[in-house]
């Protein structure tokens, strides 16, 4: 499967909420579909395809630093050693090194129900049998009135 780089915009509020435990979603998951993708330290897991999607170095280094800060803030022995102002300052720094893109799979444009190439005749018979409209059904209408595009 092909991968495409999708732009993401990670802000310090999402980073802060994740680090202090107000949000269970990784800051990158706020920019992508968290029901389909799960962000890990070095990759993104696609639940639909059941595949790991390797990421670039900026993604990995951001997640490692994010994990260190979260461990420091939420750790039992270190939770009270760092103040709120210091956490906010580090979150701003993390925002600066956050990845600008992530690799996500490109879905095939063809429909799941499309037939393979070379079976156009069979495809037409299938559409006729089940009464399916052509992809440009609105052009074949006899009355072209109303608010339909011409």
What are the DSSP calls for 76-134, one per residue?
TTTTTTS-HHHHHHHHHHHHHHS-SEEEEEPPPSS-TTPPPTT-HHHHHHHHHHHTPPP
**116-134 confidence digits (pLDDT tens):** 566 566 666 766 776 666 6
Q: What is the Cα–Cα distance from 43 to 144, expressed in whole angstroms?
A: 51
Residue 112 belongs to some domain of the structure:
no
Q: Quick one: pLDDT at residue 50?
A: 92
**Residue 131: which region, alpha, beta or left (left: phi > 0; alpha: psi -120 to 50)?**
left
Does 10 reside within a domain? Answer: yes
For residue 150, is it within any domain? no
**Residue 124, domain member (yes or no):** no
Task: Say yes or no to pLDDT of 14 above 70.
Answer: yes
Asked whether residue 60 is assigned to any structural domain, the reply reads: yes
Residue 134 lies in a domain: no
Q: Maximum distance among all alpha carbons in the chain? A: 76
Q: Which range of residues forms the domain containing residue 20?
A: 3-105
Residue 139 lies in a domain: no
pTM of the model: 0.68
Question: Distance between CA 50 and CA 84 in Å, rounded?
Answer: 39
Number of domains in the chain: 1
Q: What tokens were used for 31?
A: 């920019």
pLDDT band at 95 (very low <50, low <70, confident <90, very high): very high
């Amino acid at each position: 499967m092909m991968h495409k780089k999708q732009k993401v915009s990670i802000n310090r509020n999402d980073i802060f909420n994740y680090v202090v435990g107000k949000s269970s979603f990784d800051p990158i998951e706020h920019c992508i579909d968290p029901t389909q993708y799960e962000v890990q330290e070095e990759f993104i897991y696609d639940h639909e395809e059941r595949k790991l999607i390797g990421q670039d170095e900026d993604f990995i280094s951001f997640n490692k630093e994010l994990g260190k800060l979260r461990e420091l803030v939420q750790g039992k022995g270190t939770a009270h050693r760092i103040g709120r102002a210091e956490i906010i300052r580090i979150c701003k720094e993390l925002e600066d090194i956050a990845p600008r893109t992530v690799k996500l799979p490109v879905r095939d444009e063809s429909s799941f129900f499309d037939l393979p190439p070379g079976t156009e005749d069979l495809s037409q018979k299938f559409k006729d049998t089940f009464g399916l409209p052509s992809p440009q059904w609105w052009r074949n209408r006899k009355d072209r009135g109303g608010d339909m595009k011409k």
